[in-house]
Amino acid sequence: MKKPIYITDLDHTFLRTDQSVSDFSAKVWNEKAQKSILSVATARSFQKSHDFLEKLHLDAPMILLDGTMIVSPEKKLIDLKTINKALGDAVVEIGLNFDIDPFIIGLKDMQLNETFLYPRKLNEHQKFVLKGYKNDPRMQFNPHNKTMDMNLKIVYFGDKETLEPLAAKLKSTFKDALEYKLSPEKYSDGYFLTILHPEGDKAHALKKVADYMNRDTHDMTVFGDSINDIGMFKLAGTSVAVSNALDEVKEVADIILPHSNDEDGVAKYLNKI
């Protein structure tokens, strides 16, 4: 009999709001991992996800940076979707017309060493985000506001009134050459707009993971809370939203949990089934 597969988002889904993994969640995860396959699908990078999950047993590919990278727990690259420099720089130029500069997350080499470029001009939302990366060696000042050769994500943080028309302009300009995700930023009161390779989202990555494991996406149960989880919710056999999920996510979920991320919702579900 094939092992069941469970894949969870991290922020505001499996992680608590203080970005910790509770002892209860760690215990349930490691017990469940004895007879199941567990992994993550997150907007986080490899190193950050590895730090969060160091107490947890992982033996399946991890979907990282919104789906732009699929990596084994041993850091073997399974799939990579990047935005080239010419296209990335064109995106940034349009952003300048809206008086906003992005964070740019990319690879500096094929050993999967990441660089996070932060802009010369920061709004209040961006300053809040940057505080969370204090002393992070991957952070690099980007005075000329240029992208890299291998861009994984271009991310704008700001208010909805700025980002909504920016998203519309980018979509009308680049159409299906890129993927655009506008969502509330739950750690602050702003919004974020993520620009990705058109196959660099969690839905495409979930299919890649299923193929890699010789399984079907219908064999998978996925957990999430935000806009970037909706695509994989539609592919998975069972989709589960935590109680604090966005309404748009709950609308496409098969199951809505009575517990939030701060109440160990995912772990309580895993413990019960």
List b or e across 120-145, with b for residues whose CB sees 16 or more CB atoms inside 10 angstroms.
eebbebbebbbeeeeeeeeeeebeeb
pLDDT digits (tens, 9 = 90+) for 111-127: 888 999 999 899 888 99
Average pLDDT over residues 207-221: 96
177 has pLDDT over 90: yes
Measured distance CA(263)–CA(271) in Å, rounded: 13
The helix or strand, by DSSP H or E, that contains position 62, with its residue range, turns out to be strand 62-64
Note the pLDDT of residue 48. Answer: 82
Topology of domain 5-80+200-272, per CATH? Answer: Rossmann fold (3.40.50)
Q: How does pLDDT run across 54-110, given as a tens digit for each residue?
A: 889 988 899 999 999 999 988 899 999 999 999 999 999 999 999 999 999 999 998
Mean pLDDT of 40-47: 90
Residue with the bigger pLDDT between 187 and 17: it is: 17
Residues spanned by CATH 3.40.50.1000 within the chain?
Answer: 5-80+200-272
Q: 85-196: which CATH number, 3.40.50.2000, 3.10.580.10, 3.30.1240.10, 3.40.50.300?
A: 3.30.1240.10
pLDDT digit string (tens) for 219-257? 999 999 999 999 999 999 999 999 999 999 999 999 999
Mean pLDDT over 150-160 rounds to 95
**Are 136 and 117 a contacting pair, CB within 8 Å?**
no
Residue ranges, comma separated, of all CATH 3.30.1240.10 domains in the chain are 85-196
The DSSP 8-state label assigned to residue 229 in this structure reads: G
